[in-house]
Amino acid sequence: MNNKQDFTERLLKWNKNKNNRSMPWKGEKDPYKIWVSEIILQQTRVEQGLIYYEKFIGKFPTIYHLTRAKEKKIFKLWEGLGYYSRCKNMIETAKRIVKRYNGTFPSSYDEIIKLKGIGPYTASAIASFAFNLPYAVVDGNVERVLARYFGIKKPTDTTEGKKFYTALAQTLLDKKQPGIYNQAIMDFGATVCKPQNPICSDCSLRKKCVSFKKRWTGILPVKTKSIERKNRWFYYFVVETNEGGVYIGKRTNEDIWKNLYEFVLWETGRSITAKKIQLSDFLDQFFKGTKFTIKEVSEIYKQQLTHQTIQGQFIQVLVYPPFPALKEYILIKKNKLKDYPLPKLINAYLQNQV
């Protein structure tokens, strides 16, 4: 295996002389702000995460501001980021830090990693950036850089592989400046040793990079598992009243969009026509004994998630009192919909209704 010390020295030299990647949290020492940035960036592109980070810190500059806010407002600010369990865990963890640590973020890796929603990567990032503790971060960027530079064909998505890359990353870490080293290797993976079209021609590490010499760049890192994708069909009944009200319910089950609000949902296992929607048993049972009129059936909307594709259609229904609303739904004024956190799919539909 290539000289490890040489790798670290070359990486830090690149960081000092060539790394001009600018982000608002770089050089940040406040563990709260580092934590917020890392949670937002999980499963999120940096370009999108930047906008949300600045909005989030602007609204909740300290952990106390976050714990005092209503959950609905926090989720509304998170709206569009996806993976809403991150937001829920953040709220719970903030309350725990205020209650158990008097609002002061714990300063040891062992305490940080016990917090909900914080795994080894995030704990290492907070520990090294905020407290200068010697813990190496290991994410997709880091695994890719190490696999290519050292010519490692061990899969990154196996238990054995993850242990191997974590151990290797730890041996390469500059113990005197772990935060600078960690930021450097992540920036290098994001800007030079990119997943597609890496900039090998301008790479300061290519002289001893095994993948560059053996033309393995396109095949490393190795992954064994393919993502299984599925299709889902959501048919939303936008149940409205003559007085300008609409029924919405909060998603509480362990599924996508938990804690967000939605219209009356009928999920089917397949695509169905507008005519069949209007003749469905669901429609008869839900509106049984109630006079209603179907005003409109929308076009098909689509939202692509990491592991699934959601195809949705909206059926606008006008109901006439009395309507025995189901207990899990609430009746609000239509102009108040903007105050509730909603899935991107529903927002796309609403934007076309203006």
CA distance 264 to 266: 7
What letter would DSSP give residue 336? Answer: G
Q: CA separation (Å) from 34 to 28, 29, 37, 122?
A: 7, 7, 5, 9
Residue 102: which residues within 8 A CB-CB, separation 6 or more?
Answer: none
* φ, ψ of residue 244 in degrees (nearest 5): 85, 20
Tokens for 314, please give them. Answer: 């909206």
CA distance 305 to 228: 12
Q: How many separate helices (H) and strands (E) can be counted in the chain?
A: 15, 8
What letter would DSSP give residue 100? Answer: H
Q: Cite the active site residues.
A: 38
HEC string of 144-196?
HHHHHHHCCCCCCCCHHHHHHHHHHHHHHCCCCCHHHHHHHHHHHHHHCCCCC
Stated length of the chain:
354
